[in-house]
């Protein structure tokens, strides 16, 4: 795997924030963000270096060697950005989805369309086997999008499993971790209710009442759920990164074909023109902790081109495509500059 030099911690932090937003949107993959922005291979390489060698360096007190080997500064600022986005930009995104839902979905649809073009350019030597792999990925993506949603389950072993599955969206471009949580029935529990409760608890702590973390049963229960979910996520990140590094190193072209198929197959999830189907519980509409209706699925329809808002939505789709193309061009310029600098050095 080629490594891309990345010493700008602010850039890494911003990349993490974008990944955090993407991970919260059903149908969007944080791994896809990493792939398009050009740090996917470095991300997977850093995670895969959390192995026996790195921990032996740590236990022997060789901290500097451990930090450099794992590229811990890169992972730290990246995941810091992910966490910050969950408690800041994710709130803004919730607001935008409430008031500008059509245009938000249009933007993400355009971004993913642009990403499909970007990834397709990376694939080499297309043949019948390549198209079969693409078709396989497409079928898997389509089947995942159309699976029936499971019921909510707060058993800790299931929460741990949700953590493992959810991070697949960070490590596998095209697979949306948040959408997989919807299918597993725990999206609202883990990414809405628990985050909202923790956010409110942190506000109380900042006001000086730290005892709330231990005295309030609801907050204690939420902390346990989030801790188990985090443990599952870390386990999944390390396991998936080792698996992907092994596969990607040996079968890069085939892997990218499957990824492209995943993305095309699951693109239906991001179609902007859709009607929400709300979850029922005991013959009544289910609500989350903020008393919002819980979406269980969507019914797609074609836009009415006589309405001006649909034309602005179409423009937003092209805006999303343009953003990816601009990022791709910028990344290409940086890559050429980096190559020139390296040639001068040697």
Higher pLDDT: 236 or 3? It is 236
DSSP 305: T
pLDDT digits (tens, 9 = 90+) for 103-138: 988 998 998 898 888 878 877 766 788 888 889 989
Residue-level length of the chain: 346
For the chain, the average pLDDT equals: 81
Average pLDDT for residues 230-251, to the nearest whole number? 87
**What per-residue confidence (pLDDT) applies to 292?**
67
Q: Residue 228 has what pLDDT?
A: 93
Cα–Cα distance list, 248 to 67, 202, 251 (Å): 24, 40, 5
CB 295 within 8 A of CB 279: yes
CA-nearest of 172, 154, 168 to 233 is: 168
pLDDT digits (tens, 9 = 90+) for 180-210: 887 787 887 887 778 778 777 877 878 777 7
Q: What is the pLDDT of residue 1?
A: 44
Give me the mean pLDDT over the 224-233 stretch. 91
Better-predicted residue by pLDDT, 35 or 241: 241
d(CA 35, CA 115): 9
Give the pLDDT of residue 121: 80
Q: Give 293's DSSP letter.
A: B
Contact 268, 142 (CB under 8 A): yes
Which of 5-9, 72-76, 115-119 reaches the highest mean pLDDT?
72-76
Q: How far is CA 150 from the centre of its chain?
A: 21
């Amino acid at each position: 795997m080629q490594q891309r030099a990345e010493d700008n911690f602010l850039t890494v932090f911003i990349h993490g924030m974008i990944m955090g937003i993407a991970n919260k949107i059903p149908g969007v993959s944080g791994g896809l963000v990493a792939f398009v922005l050009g740090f996917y291979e470095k991300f997977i390489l850093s995670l895969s270096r959390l192995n026996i060698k790195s921990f032996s360096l740590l236990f022997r007190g060789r901290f500097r060697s451990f930090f450099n080997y794992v590229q811990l500064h890169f992972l730290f600022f990246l995941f810091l950005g992910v966490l910050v986005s969950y408690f800041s930009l994710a709130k803004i995104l919730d607001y935008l989805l409430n008031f500008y839902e059509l245009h938000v979905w249009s933007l993400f649809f355009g971004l993913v369309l642009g990403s499909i073009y970007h990834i397709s350019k990376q694939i080499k030597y297309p043949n019948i086997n390549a198209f079969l792999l693409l078709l396989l990925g497409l079928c898997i993506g389509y089947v995942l999008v159309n699976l029936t949603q499971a019921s909510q389950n707060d058993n800790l072993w299931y929460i741990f499993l949700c953590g493992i599955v959810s991070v697949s969206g960070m490590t596998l471009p095209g697979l949306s971790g948040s959408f997989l949580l919807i299918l597993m029935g725990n999206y609202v529990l883990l990414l809405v209710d628990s985050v909202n409760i923790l956010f409110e608890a942190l506000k109380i702590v900042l006001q000086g009442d730290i005892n709330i973390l231990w005295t309030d049963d609801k907050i204690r229960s939420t902390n346990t759920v989030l801790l188990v979910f985090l443990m599952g996520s870390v386990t999944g990140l390390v396991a998936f990164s080792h698996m992907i590094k092994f596969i990607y190193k040996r079968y890069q072209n085939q892997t990218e074909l499957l990824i492209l198929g995943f993305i095309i197959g699951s693109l239906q999830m991001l179609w902007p023109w859709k009607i929400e189907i709300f979850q029922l519980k005991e013959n009544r509409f289910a609500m989350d902790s903020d008393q919002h209706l819980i979406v269980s699925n969507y019914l797609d329809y074609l836009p009415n081109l006589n309405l001006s808002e649909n034309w602005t939505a179409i423009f937003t789709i092209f805006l999303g495509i343009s953003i990816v193309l601009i990022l791709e061009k910028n990344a290409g310029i940086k890559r050429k500059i980096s190559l020139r600098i390296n040639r001068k050095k040697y």
